[in-house]
Structure 1
């Protein structure tokens, strides 16, 4: 019974690959330009979401450290600002050149 499940997984994976290949060959995949445009939009959105998540989570953690009276909070805040600056700069460069 175990071998039967393993064969079904392989068959499903093979059917998925074949159907994906047929879809792209039949013109459903789009041109290279449209694919690249889609990828760049996804990259830009992902970077924006990453910067926002880094800023929100980092600021919350630094705030908690300050409230607890942690002695390392000031050093961590400086590291956080530098990291956010670098991450934001990569995001800006990506938006300008892509």
Structure 2
């Protein structure tokens, strides 16, 4: 991975009350490394309770081409993630996506 061709963006969402993730972290976060030349998500990590869930979600989003828009990515998460925290995972991705688009419009267009 060429650092000069990537940006790191984060997104967070409140976990559902009454779940372990809420009681432990309060929020779910995602960190995405996105290639600014290709628009592909090169790496991802989630702040979730288990390493298995982090690995699963990370594998699900890695390699995604952001030029396709956010909806196909969110549909993949909905299709494959059936945890009580699904909504928070989706919202954290949407938050990171919004941050990436802000950065892209302001900084990367220069």
Q: TM-score, normalised by structure 2?
A: 0.34
Tell me the TM-score normalized by structure 1. Answer: 0.37
Q: Which has the higher helix share?
A: 1
Structure number with greater Rg is 1
Higher strand share: 2
